[in-house]
Amino acid sequence: MMDDYGLYPREEQFDPLGVMLFKALQVIAFLFFLALLAVSPDSKEGKIDSKAEFIITMDWPDNHPDDLDLFVQDPAGNIAWYRHREAGFLTLDRDDRGGANDFIVVNGKKIASPIREEIVTVRGILAGEYTVNISHFVATTGQPVEANVKVQKLNPTAQVIFDNKLKLDHTGDEKTAVRFRLDSEGKVINVDQRPKSLLETFRSSWRNGGDLDAKTGVRVRRD
């Protein structure tokens, strides 16, 4: 027979398991393609540009009842804080009130959040000195609270320029965490911890009279 000499190809034995595996791979590949379409739409409508040059965070122990506040002042004198969340290029993205009213809403229900953190982003470059202060707004435990303050430069690559812990021990206690200076290109040229009161800046605004300080958001008295 001609087939005995290998002149005709032999029929391969049917393998049902191999066919099933091949079909399964086809289905997975198709689903992966659909997933790519879903996460990479052609339309850019609704896209949010979250670009920031620096991010400044303060956190303290989870579930702590005390209320701590973060204040950041830019070289022009603008101050971002809980009553003035946008000031120049500064934005207070998260204001945490400790145990007073720190909740998230899930399916219409309020759930207490254990996280204690405040965040300020710097969304543009302004040459000069920035001051980062923290304050003990409400002390309920009568015990010192340790807060961690971190300043990160995000562009062109992420870089931590400050990361340290400070203690606050009574209502109204204010401490300068860090002061850092930028050149015109956004390069950090100095970092130190010389004390500077930003709460005193608010008091000075009040003493000077007027209506509303645009840089600090402080309502001041009329003469």
Residue 19: per-residue pLDDT:
57
Cα–Cα distance list, 124 to 78, 103, 127, 189 (Å): 13, 31, 10, 17
Q: Count other Cβ atoms within 10 Å, centred on residue 113.
A: 13
Domains of the chain: 54-197 (2.60.60.30)
Is the pLDDT confidence value at 8 over 80?
no
More confident of the two residues 26 and 39: 26
Mean pLDDT for the chain?
80
Could you give the CA distance from residue 28 to residue 173 in angstroms, rounded to a whole number? 59
Residue 6: per-residue pLDDT:
42
- 97: Cβ–Cβ under 8 A, 6 or more apart, which residues? 67
Is the pLDDT confidence value at 215 over 50?
yes
Q: How confident is the model at residue 45 (pLDDT cuts 50, 70, 90)?
A: very low
Is the pLDDT confidence value at 103 over 70?
no
CB 168 within 8 A of CB 106: no
Residues 107-121 have a mean pLDDT of 81
Among the listed residues 149, 151, 184, 179, the one whose alpha carbon sits nearest the alpha carbon of residue 164: 149
Q: Count other Cβ atoms within 10 Å, centred on residue 135.
A: 20
Q: Is 112 exposed, middle or buried (0-12, 13-18, 19+ CB in 10 A)?
A: exposed
Is the pLDDT confidence value at 97 over 70?
yes
Tens-place pLDDT, residues 131-151: 999 999 988 888 999 999 999
Q: How confident is the model at residue 108 (pLDDT cuts 50, 70, 90)?
A: confident
Residue 142: per-residue pLDDT:
86
Q: How far apart are the first and last CA of the chain?
A: 118
Q: How confident is the model at residue 99 (pLDDT cuts 50, 70, 90)?
A: low
